[in-house]
Amino acid sequence: MGLLCNILLFLLLCTCVAESADPLGDFCNEDNEIGKGISANIDTLLTKLVSNIASTGYVATSYGRDPNQVYGLAQCRGDVAKEDCSTCIQDAAKQIRQRCPNEADARIWYDYCFLRYNTKNFIGEIDTSYGIFYYNVNNVTDPVNFIKQLEDLTGRIRAQAVEPKNQGLGKGESKLSPLVSLYALVQCTRDISQIDCAQCLAIAVETFTTICSERKGCRVLYSSCYVRYELYPFFFPINSSNGTAEDNQIVVVHP
Ligand SMILES: *[C@@H]1O[C@H](CO)[C@@H](O)[C@H](O)[C@H]1NC(C)=O
Ligand SMILES: *[C@@H]1O[C@H](CO)[C@@H](O)[C@H](O)[C@H]1NC(C)=O
Ligand SMILES: *[C@@H]1O[C@H](CO)[C@@H](O)[C@H](O)[C@H]1NC(C)=O
């Protein structure tokens, strides 16, 4: 009986722990502390974001009245399926409150989605003030060819991202050799203009050069855009089993 209880308890704990996935990063702005009357509005706002995300993978809205009004944005990467998108935003809504319990300006990043809220209206404003960078510790073997291919590919997909029909998403691949391909994806948040999207992506791709130069993989996450490249397929639809993911990642956070 005692053993059974322990097993049940163990299973229960496992389920709870596994319930919401770890994000890639978060930002809790300590300059904007939660005031009275705001916390309940954040909860309602998060409920709105979670319940409205499925239809288009993007929600920008607000809740409450000045001075307790809270603005929120939730968005999934454009290639991510509805179900994965909903799960991601649900996780984000849970985790952001746990991670930023005392801040009224909070942001959380996952590979599949991004969520943020603030008492100041940020919707429509480009923001590259805070970035999270992940890179693979290993370097490519043929940097000259690699850098040229990466420039060509990111140039192509940045042009895709600013076409209105693509809603801020660009993705593609390029053969480095008969056996090795480079995969890259860029995504802007859908509240910003095409010009701001282009600017955010330019800043993010510039970071490839300064932080990731010859690395086998790199991710740059800002509040207005996300860019990533890898030597394995990581975006949808994932065609084949070409290449495998390397989890050799280092994270650098720049305030
Ligand atoms: C990759 O290159 C960087 C910069 O040249 C170097 O510091 C680093 O040690 C290299 N990584 C490996 C695994 O060799
Ligand atoms: C992926 O699949 C599509 C359609 O099946 C095909 O046209 C394309 O060449 C494939 N790409 C790769 C890298 O295998
Ligand atoms: C993936 O692998 C298949 C065969 O295994 C090959 O035909 C195809 O070109 C590869 N795709 C890329 C993008 O490397």
The CATH number linked to 216 is 3.30.430.20
**Does 167 share its domain with 102?**
no
Of all protein residues, the one whose alpha carbon is nearest to atom 7 of ligand 2 is 239
Which residues form the pocket of ligand 3, taking CB atoms under 6 Å from any ligand atom? 173, 181, 240, 242
CA of 240 relative to ligand 2 center, distance in Å = 8
Instruction: Indicate if ligand 1 lies below 6 Å from the C-beta of 11.
Output: no
CA 27 – CA 8 distance, rounded (Å):
36
CA 29 – CA 105 distance, rounded (Å):
5
Q: Domain for residue 54, yes or no?
A: yes
Q: Which ligand is nearest the CA of 180, by number? A: 3
CA 78 – CA 188 distance, rounded (Å):
10
pLDDT value of position 115: 98
Within 13 Å and on the Cβ side, how many CA atoms surround 105?
12
pLDDT value of position 1: 42
- Does residue 214 contact residue 139 with C-beta atoms inside 8 Å? yes
From 135, 136, 138, 139, the mutation candidate for ligand 1 (largest count of ligand atoms within 8 A of CB) is 139
Provide the domain count of the chain.
2
Picking from 118, 148, 164, the residue at the C-terminal end of a domain is: 118
> Helix, strand or coil for residue 80?
coil
**Does 37 share its domain with 110?**
yes
CA of 152 relative to ligand 2 center, distance in Å = 20
Ligand 2 atom showing the smallest separation from residue 181 Cα: 13
Q: Whose structure tokens read 């089993």?
A: 241
> CB-based contacts of 25: which residues, under 8 Å, 6+ apart?
108, 109, 132, 221, 251, 253
pLDDT value of position 249: 73
**Does 104 share its domain with 137?**
no
Q: pTM (2 decimals)?
A: 0.85
- Does residue 133 contact residue 220 with C-beta atoms inside 8 Å? yes
Picking from 73, 98, 118, the residue at the C-terminal end of a domain is: 118
pLDDT value of position 9: 44
Q: Domain for residue 125, yes or no?
A: no
Of all protein residues, the one whose alpha carbon is nearest to atom 14 of ligand 3 is 181
pLDDT value of position 94: 97
**Does 225 share its domain with 113?**
no
CA 80 – CA 86 distance, rounded (Å):
10
Query: Domain span at residue 140?
Result: 130-254
Q: Domain for residue 2, yes or no?
A: no
Q: Domain for residue 92, yes or no?
A: yes
Picking from 91, 118, 145, the residue at the C-terminal end of a domain is: 118
CA of 211 relative to ligand 3 center, distance in Å = 29
CA 42 – CA 237 distance, rounded (Å):
34
pLDDT, averaged per 10 consecutive residues of the chain (255 residues), comes to 46 45 93 91 98 97 96 98 97 97 97 97 97 94 96 98 97 94 97 98 94 94 97 85 64 70
Q: Domain for residue 10, yes or no?
A: no
**Does 176 share its domain with 97?**
no
Of all protein residues, the one whose alpha carbon is nearest to atom 2 of ligand 1 is 139
